[in-house]
Amino acid sequence: MTAALLLAAQDVRITPGPGHPLGGYLARHGVATGTHDELEASLIWLSTEDDPGVVWVALDALAVDAGLTRTLADAVAAAVGIGPERVLVCASHTHSGPEGWTGPLHPGLPGERDPGLVGRMAEKVTGAALRLRACRSRVRARWHAGSTEAVGGNRYRPDGPHDTSFGVLELSRDDGTPAALLFDYASHPTVLGPDNLAWSADWPGATRRELAALIGRPVAAFLQGAAGDASSRFVRRGRDHAEVRTLGGHLATSIARTLAAASAIGASGPVRLTRSTLHLPYREVPSIEDSVELRESAEAEWQRELARHGEDHPAVRIAQTRYEGCAMLATMAAGGRPTGCADVPVSVVSLGDIAWLHTPFELFASLGLRIRRGSPFRHTRVIGYSDGYLGYLPDADGHRNGIYESYVTLFGPDAAEVLVEHCLKVLRAHRLSPT
């Protein structure tokens, strides 16, 4: 007999006060002037009576590095009474959140961790975790899958690879009302550009707010997918909060329609977890002379595109980010690059025939699609920005085309193949392991 699923879920606001730097854009100047919409942490603890299951901690944050992951996982685990290995910490990747929660995320980026900001955010998340035990109750799980092209796409060409799918785990009370949703989609939350100086969750936050209006107020936790080369660049019609609401509304409406359809698949426990570590060598970096030459060439190209098109044209943004990537590469070449190997956490959570594969990368869409196609699970969701942050992992085309991500990645052209094979190996072993 299948054990009954138990759910405890909480939302908590984690927005800092004004006066702190925002993370995500090299071109941004100034500090946060206030809040447009609240940054939140969503906690979903899914378990059974006989097994502690897992807790997802989904944050409106640019990233979670290894230090922040440890801080939150340890605090949540202690509050709930489970092992820290059972806590998955995930970032939405909004570019309108605090830089100080992590500090610099790349050798070529400025930034400084703010212990006060981290401590205050961790205290709020811990408070939410302490409330989880008191609100655990039985739920029924249903799986929904859908697709939309209205929120994001490939950010280099409109016909480029992009995973348009979304997945939704609906967790309902005995009366059928939704208690929580765990949903994912792959696209950078970068509708708001470097000129924005107000805290905002960008379109994932707008999606949650619109879902609350459409279907009630369940805890809605967002997981970011393989969004390394995905954004709203070719679908947005502006870079303001009205466009944030439009794109978030598109996804919320698509999810609500999918929830109302008769195509849901029942899901039952137990909730299973496999943790693994991949040792991935860091890349070799060109000489400082070659890197500076690349940077100067890229800057000249950016200025040509700017003169031709004006601000915020896709061609200008592509040229600008290529220049920024070459500048970051030159910084690494000057002595800021890591050496040896990175310890890459790769985790699988499954519920019946549904699997969530978590990595700390900004994976390119083609890699996420390959993992999904090769997975032994009927439904596999590839989640990035989890349990650490190791930057972009481009595919072979990205390296050949010399785009921004190929310059800033910490790993060589072969790394993507190594990671994909490791992910598929972990998924297969997880599938075959005894429950």
User: In this model, does residue 166 exceed pLDDT 80?
Assistant: yes
Q: Output the CA–CA distances (angstroms, integers) from residue 424 to 164, 226, 262, in the order listed.
A: 21, 15, 31
Q: What is the pLDDT of residue 290?
A: 94
Q: Which residues face 358 on adjacent strands? A: 347, 383
Return the DSSP state at 31. Answer: B
Q: Which residues face 178 on adjacent strands? A: 172
d(CA 354, CA 259): 17
Range list of β-strands (E), 127-192: 137-147, 153-154, 165-172, 178-185
Q: What is the pLDDT of residue 412?
A: 95
Cα atoms in the 13 Å half-sphere on the side-chain side of 403: 21
Place of tokens 């977890």: 273
**How do beta strands 230-231 and 165-172 pair?**
unpaired
Q: Are 265 and 60 in contact (CB under 8 A)?
A: no
Q: Are 56 and 88 in contact (CB under 8 A)?
A: yes
pLDDT in tens, 346-356: 999 999 999 99
Nearest residue to 25 via CA among 243, 198, 193, 201: 193
As a whole number, mean pLDDT of residues 347-367 equals 98
As a whole number, mean pLDDT of residues 341-368 equals 98
d(CA 270, CA 283): 40
Place of tokens 């990671």: 419
d(CA 21, CA 200): 13
User: In this model, does residue 181 exceed pLDDT 80?
Assistant: yes
pLDDT in tens, 76-93: 999 999 999 999 999 999
Residue 264: pLDDT band (50, 70, 90) is: confident
For the ranges 187-196, 283-292, 340-349, 354-363, the lowest mean pLDDT is seen at 283-292
Residue 435: pLDDT band (50, 70, 90) is: low
Q: Is 187 helix (H, G, I), strand (E, B) or coil?
A: coil
Q: Are 407 and 294 in contact (CB under 8 A)?
A: yes
As a whole number, mean pLDDT of residues 362-379 equals 98
Nearest residue to 408 via CA among 319, 318, 285, 293: 285
Q: What is the pLDDT of residue 308?
A: 93
Q: What is the pLDDT of residue 267?
A: 87
Q: Are 63 and 105 in contact (CB under 8 A)?
A: yes
Beta-carbon contacts of residue 70 (< 8 Å; ≥ 6 apart) = 84
pLDDT in tens, 236-258: 999 999 999 999 999 999 999 99
- Three-class SS string for 363-414? ECHHHHHHHHHHCCCCEEEEECCECCCCCEECCHHHHHHCCHHHHHCCCCCC
| Number of Cβ within a 10 Å radius of residue 166 | 22
Structural tokens at position 188? 């950078």
Residue 62: pLDDT band (50, 70, 90) is: very high
User: In this model, does residue 1 exceed pLDDT 60?
Assistant: no
User: In this model, does residue 51 exceed pLDDT 60?
Assistant: yes
pLDDT in tens, 4-36: 999 999 999 999 999 999 999 988 999 999 999
Q: Output the CA–CA distances (angstroms, integers) from residue 357 to 237, 402, 407, in the order listed.
A: 32, 28, 26
d(CA 245, CA 164): 19
pLDDT in tens, 89-127: 999 999 999 999 998 899 988 889 999 999 999 999 999
Return the DSSP state at 133. Answer: G
d(CA 20, CA 138): 41
Q: Is 211 helix (H, G, I), strand (E, B) or coil?
A: helix
User: In this model, does residue 190 exceed pLDDT 60?
Assistant: yes
For the entire predicted model, the pTM comes to: 0.96
d(CA 400, CA 364): 14
Residue type, 147: S
Mean pLDDT across the chain, nearest whole number? 95
Q: Are 191 and 245 in contact (CB under 8 A)?
A: no
Q: Which residues face 345 on adjacent strands? A: 277
d(CA 412, CA 341): 12
Helix (H) or strand (E) holding 125: helix 115-130
Q: Tally helices (H) and strands (E) across the chain.
A: 10, 19
Chain centroid to CA 208: 15
As a whole number, mean pLDDT of residues 175-188 equals 95
